[in-house]
Structures are given as C-alpha cells and as structure tokens.
Amino acid sequence: MLLVEITPERYDVVVDLAYAGNNNFTGKPVYRRNACYLRPEAEAQLVRAAALAGEHGLRLKILDAFRPTEAQWALWNHTPDPEFLADPRKGSPHSRGVAVDLTLVDGEGCELDMGTAFDAFTPLSHHGNTAVPKEAQRNRYLLLGIMVSAGWDCYLMEWWHYQMFSPRSYPLISDRALPLPMMA
C-alpha cells in the first residue's frame, strides 16, 4: 500500500481529524472514519517531529493528513478559496499523502494557544502574523521549529499546515486506494 496508518498507540500522537466530525468549516463530516494516513517518507518525518515535541513535554495533535481526492473536491465545492484550499484540478499535498495539519498539546491533552482555530481562513492564520497574542506567536514558532527540524516545509498562510518538499512529485491518491474507505 502507498500509505501507512498513523495511530495514537503506535506514534504517541493524538489523532482527531477535523473532517471526520462536524467541527470544520463545512459544518458536517467529510470523512466517514477518523483514520490518519501518510506516505512512508512523510511518516518517517512525523516520527522525528513527535520525538522532538516529546522533548518539550508536548505531543502532536493531527487534525488532517492524507485527504482523498474525493474529499478535496468536497471541500473545494463548499469553499473554493485558493489561498487556503488547493484547487483539486491541480491537487493538494494532502491528496498525495505528504501533508499534515496539526497543533501541539500539553501533557493534559490541552491544545496550546495558536491565536486562531484550525482552518480559520483569515490573515491571522498566517505564520509570522504579529496581531495574535505573544503566547500564540511563541507556540507557533515552537511548532514551526519542531516541524522544520524534522524535515517538513511550511505553508506560510496556515500555521497548522506542513508538507514534504516537492509535493507534486508524488501522485494523487483516491479513496479507492485504501483498504477501508474514509469517505462518508
């Protein structure tokens, strides 16, 4: 299989995919299952990032990872905003299994303040935005440092989005490629 399943037990991460529930910008589930997948190359970088977060007494909370091409179309059809969503005709790094949306949680499982919610389609979500509180800026820089040190590239418009370098060198993947479909 092209993808590796990322589970909390094996990777010491929290998996809470926003699109598997109602708490996302569409207001309804896009995925039928809260199943997290990445390509093996991305999985190796996630392992490094989780270890680095652990050195600070923190854990990664994964909000999205592999996103089937069918899901990318569903998101785009709801909100066709090219600043925050990849046009599915070009393809998203998520739909290639080489991107992850995430945040940091403390030892109690509480999310660190990042200044905006996940998928807040606003300039306040941009890396380096100094209009968010200082604590949120520090938390974003900590997440950025962890992820970049683990080999990830960032997307400057979203503090939560990280991807492998040269994501378009990987093919798009459909929900049909999974042993058990994710889509609702």
Supply the residues annotated as catalytic: 158
CA distances from 132 to 60, 76, 84, 116, 142 (A): 21, 27, 19, 8, 15
State the amino acid at position 23 in one-letter form: N
Per the CB < 8 A criterion, the answer to whether 136 and 165 are in contact is no
Concatenating the DSSP letter of every residue in 45-69 gives HHHHHHHHHHTTT-EEEEEE----H
